[in-house]
A = this chain, B = another copy of it.
Amino acid sequence: MATVTYRQALRDTLRAEMLRDEDVFLMGEEIGVFEGSYKITEGLLKEFGPRRVRDTPIAEEGFVGAAIGAAMLGLRPVVEIMTINFSLLALDQIVNHAAKIYGMFGGQCSVPMVIRTPGGGGQQLGATHSQNVELFYSFIPGLKVLAPSTPAEASAMLKAAIRDDDPVLFLENLALYNTKGEVPDDVTPAEIGRAAVTREGTDITIIAYSRMAHVAAEVAEKLAADGVSAEVVDLRSLRPLDRETVVASVRRTGCAVIAEDDWLTYGIGAEIAATIQEGAFDWLDAPVRRVAMAEVPLPYSKPLELAALPSAESLVTAVRDTLAATGRR
């Protein structure tokens, strides 16, 4: 058991999987010589050489598609897309090819690949570099979408993703790379498709994933000091979605708030709210609320950006409003 950053957990896991399986290799822009835009692949080119750590031209559609093709022949490419914003250029390859090949050809050929990519606003990167579009992938049958929030989960889920025979979109977050946590020495691969109750509580359920899972934990802690017992569900897998865990929690607490980093309308939280009202209708004491990004192209300006992004404060407000709406006290 060691305490490492999320970044380090990813790097160690990539390395371990490459050592374990010769079919695992890395592809992406600037992952070799530059050691990764966010340094996730630091040192790996030196250790494994250019055959297994392949720098690509700036050609998202091309290199993601090439990874799919390599996976069709049985290799296990792990592709890095520098940020999820650039994945839009590869969307056709991911949605129309990676996600379709297994089904469209009647199960003859699987696509065992992983696409690692960070989302995240809050870095003043402006409208085109600050989006959270995991929705695009979470919507697609044939894809799996994982969104770990801690170093231990990142490690366990990355292992599982690499060993899985389907294309996996592995969502990281710029704001999480430097966060720390304990990671067991020999991480067991996670079971894909499971949410986790990361904090138990009785008054309300807060549902979140990725960076917002941290905000949710922070808020739950703060609320506890005020005598509010919040349960936190970390979705961890956006596709498949673990509806049972979410609904079971809300059936216990009777109300819920969703905290998400993407835009509200049609965002990930919409499905969570729709699921809850269908699965816990008779248990709900108040409408499910969502805390999400203001629906604007995210401005560069710091005060504007801060106003647009969900925060612990906005989550606290929504929780308090929801508790008030239950009429319980």
Q: Is there an interface contact between A128 and B103, defined as CB atoms closer than 8 Å?
A: no
Could you say which residues of chain B place their CB within 8 Å of the CB of A209? none
Within 225-280 of A, Cβ neighbours of B (below 8 Å) are at 239, 241, 262-263, 265-271, 273-274, 276-279
Q: Is there an interface contact between B277 and A139, defined as CB atoms closer than 8 Å?
A: no
Could you say which residues of chain B place their CB within 8 Å of the CB of A287? 277-279, 281
Complex Cα–Cα for A141 and B139 (A): 18
Interface size class of A (residues with CB under 8 A): 35 or more
Residue of B92, B103, B269 near A127 (CB, 8 A) is B103
Per-residue B-contact encoding for A86-118, CB less than 8 Å = 1, 0 else: 001101100111011011100000000000000
Q: Is there an interface contact between A281 and B286, defined as CB atoms closer than 8 Å?
A: yes
Complex Cα–Cα for A96 and B128 (A): 5
Q: Does A297 contact B (CB under 8 A)?
A: yes
Residue of B nearest to A241 (CB): B265
Complex Cα–Cα for A279 and B290 (A): 13
CB within 8 Å for A104 and B270 given contacts A92-B89, A281-B287, A287-B277: no
Q: Does A66 contact B (CB under 8 A)?
A: no
Q: Does A122 contact B (CB under 8 A)?
A: no
A91, A284, A286, A297: residue with the most chain B Cβ atoms closer than 10 Å? A297
Q: Does A295 contact B (CB under 8 A)?
A: yes
Q: Does A85 contact B (CB under 8 A)?
A: yes
Chain A residues near B (Cβ < 8 Å): 61, 85, 88-89, 91-92, 95-97, 99-100, 102-104, 126-128, 131, 133, 135-136, 138-142, 239, 241, 262-263, 265-271, 273-274, 276-279, 281, 284, 286-290, 295-297, 299
CB within 8 Å for A139 and B265 given contacts A96-B128, A277-B277: yes
Could you say which residues of chain B place their CB within 8 Å of the CB of A271? 265-266, 270, 274
Could you say which residues of chain B place their CB within 8 Å of the CB of A99? 297
CB within 8 Å for A88 and B85 given contacts A96-B128, A273-B278, A274-B269: no
Shortest CB-to-CB span from A72 to chain B, Å, is 15
Could you say which residues of chain B place their CB within 8 Å of the CB of A128? 96-97, 100, 104
Could you say which residues of chain B place their CB within 8 Å of the CB of A88? 91-92, 95-96
* Closest 9 A/B residue pairs (Cβ): A103-B297, A273-B274, A277-B277, A281-B287, A270-B271, A270-B270, A88-B92, A104-B127, A139-B266
Could you say which residues of chain B place their CB within 8 Å of the CB of A268? 266
A91, A104, A239, A266: residue with the most chain B Cβ atoms closer than 10 Å? A266
Shortest CB-to-CB span from A110 to chain B, Å, is 13
Q: List 29 A-B residue pairs with CB atoms under 8 Å apart, sorted by A's residue number.
A: A88-B92, A89-B91, A91-B92, A96-B128, A100-B127, A100-B128, A100-B297, A103-B127, A103-B297, A104-B127, A135-B139, A136-B136, A140-B263, A141-B296, A266-B271, A269-B274, A270-B270, A270-B271, A270-B274, A271-B274, A273-B273, A273-B278, A277-B277, A277-B284, A277-B287, A278-B288, A278-B289, A281-B284, A281-B286
